[in-house]
Amino acid sequence: MKNLKKVAFVSVMVLGLSSCYVNTFNIGQGAQKGIKVSQKNHYLIAGLAPISVANPQEMAGDAKDYTVEIKHSFIDGLLNGITFGIYTPTTTTVTK
């Protein structure tokens, strides 16, 4: 019984402390002014079915140099966990 409790504790810690993924890429020279624009991406079934996805080019406007960051924030991960992966949001941030 003690081993089962230890395994359960370690499993919860590993899942709870896992990091959120971040995908970052630069267009042109990357961000120059530090102006940030964020938008949510909405997916269903663990990200397999997109509902609404942000367009980084539209978010950047007329900027030629910008940085795009797509990540699972804490809130995104919380919503994913609450819905057991049925709803899986991500956040896209464009820094001009």
pLDDT digits (tens, 9 = 90+) for 19-30: 567 889 999 888
At position 85, the amino acid (one-letter code) is G
Please report the pLDDT score of residue 1 as a whole number: 67
Please tell me the pTM assigned to this model: 0.74
Q: Are 59 and 91 in contact (CB under 8 A)?
A: no
Please report the pLDDT score of residue 16 as a whole number: 65
Please name the residue that has the structure tokens 């499993």: 11
Please report the pLDDT score of residue 20 as a whole number: 66
Please report the pLDDT score of residue 71 as a whole number: 92
Residue stretches of the chain with pLDDT short of 70? 1, 13-20
Please report the pLDDT score of residue 86 as a whole number: 93
Q: How far apart are CA 20 and CA 27, in angstroms?
A: 23
